Amino acid sequence: MRTIDWVPAEGARPGHIRLVDQTRLPGELRELDIHTVDALVAAIGRLAVRGAPALGVAGALGVALAVQTLPTGEVEPAVARLRAARPTAVNLALGVDTAWAAARAAGPEAALAAALALRDDDIAGCRAMAGRGSALLRRLLPDREKLTVLTICNTGALAAVEHGTALGVIERLHTDGRLDRAVVCETRPLLQGARLTAWELGRMGARYDLIVDSAAASVLAGGGVDAVLVGADRIAENGDTANKIGTFALALAAAHANVPFLVVAPETTVDTGTASGADIHIEDRGADEVRAFHGVPTAPADAPARNPAFDVTPAALITAIVTDRRVVEPGPAARSSSPLRMSLNEEEA
């Protein structure tokens, strides 16, 4: 199954986008056929498709749809609407820009080809991360035949196309017979761990346990976890990593329990223009997500709340960063250096 893909034209029926409606999960697996840019913009807006890599592919395929279905004068405004469907998602804009540049240079077929190349790059990149992450874990934990690994949020196929990043490594462990079980943090406030990661692990037949986020520290201290695997939204030049809120707490608990802490993310996540975590702006998503739990009020209706969507894990707490091109090990001395710039020669690690 792919989270998002292109259904080729067949006879008189033109090609279109097909994507998993993630708002229905975990209750129901339903695929949506998207025939217009407006339908795609609506699907992105209500989070039917989410996750940085998946949004990049959605943006590129959306441009292919636009140039194929719309009169010439309507294409550019439609592309602009698509690009702005989630203003903070840089991958969406990048995907749109890539396919739109191809369309303007070489026409509709080139736009579709660019979008499909982005899709294939994502699949290949996630496979590369899975291989590197799996090999790294074998090297870090040579005596462990089967591993129990802990993760947060959803970094699986649902956030990408066919395989995930951190959850892609876990999937590889599972298919290689090396996964004992996964421990999944539910990931408040939006519960991507409970809703999506638990569903993906169940679907792949992997053993797992769901926990509330605040239980991770004692589960780690209890000694039953071999490694922590997380994704990343942005990695600064010094290795400081912004990811889903709660990641930093996991890194502290992993360090206390002496458990390896791995960040798994595509190379595009590395932002050498950002010197350190102190330069990363953290979005606050407002009080409503905290005052309710899956639509049910949980606090006084007027309760003030802080809702930082991400936190920053200092490089010193990260055992290794695994991308589709390299493995970087910031190590405990990383605080003041720039491991991401210094180690470009680690490409083949």
Catalytic residue annotation: 233
Residues 243-252, buried b or exposed e (16+ Cβ, 10 A)? bbbbbbbbbe
Residues 276-295 that bind its own copies (CB under 8 A): 282, 287, 290-291, 293-295
For residue 233, state whether it binds its own copies (rule: CB under 8 A).
Answer: no
Distance CA(165)–CA(185), nearest Å, equals: 16
Q: Is 131 in the site for its own copies (CB under 8 A)?
A: no
**Contact between 299 and 291 (Cβ < 8 Å):** yes
- The rounded distance, in Å, linking the Cα atoms of 185 and 174 is 18
Binding residue (CB under 8 A) for its own copies from 210, 276, 335, 337: 210
Q: Which stretch binds its own copies (CB under 8 A): 67-75, 136-144, 215-223, 336-344?
A: 215-223
The residue from 199, 233, 240, 262 that contacts its own copies (CB under 8 A) is: 199
Minimum CB distance to its own copies smaller for 82 or for 312: 312
- 179 in contact with its own copies (CB under 8 A): no
Radius of gyration over alpha carbons of the chain, in Å?
Answer: 20
Residue of 133, 112, 77 whose CA lies nearest to 7: 112
Residue 319's contacts (CB-CB under 8 Å, 6 or more residues apart) are 140, 260, 261, 262, 329
Number of residues that bind its own copies (CB under 8 A): 57
Of 7, 15, 21, 26, the one binding its own copies (CB under 8 A) is 26
- Residue 283: CB minimum distance to its own copies, A: 13
The burial class, CB within 10 Å (0-12 / 13-18 / 19+), for 271 is middle
Nearer to its own copies, 33 or 293 (CB): 293
Asked if 82 and 65 touch (Cβ cutoff 8 Å), the reply is no
Q: Does 47 bind its own copies (CB under 8 A)?
A: no
Residue 239: which of 345, 315, 188 has the closest Cα?
315
Q: Does 185 sit near its own copies (CB under 8 A)?
A: yes
Looking at 9, 207, 223, 347, which residue binds its own copies (CB under 8 A)? 207
174 binds its own copies (CB under 8 A): no
To its own copies, the closest distance from the beta carbon of 165 in angstroms equals 19
Q: Between residues 6 and 208, which has the closer beta carbon with respect to its own copies?
A: 208
Give min distance, CB of 252 to its own copies, in A. 5
- C-alpha pair distances (Å), 335 with each of 12, 263, 280: 59, 16, 15
DSSP state of 249: H
Verify binding: residue 332, its own copies, rule CB under 8 A.
Answer: no
242 φ/ψ angles, rounded to the nearest 5 degrees: -90, 130
**By the criterion CB under 8 A, which residues form the site for its own copies?**
26-27, 152, 183, 185-189, 191, 194-195, 198-199, 202, 207-219, 221, 245-246, 248-249, 252-253, 256, 282, 287, 290-291, 293-300, 302-308, 311-312
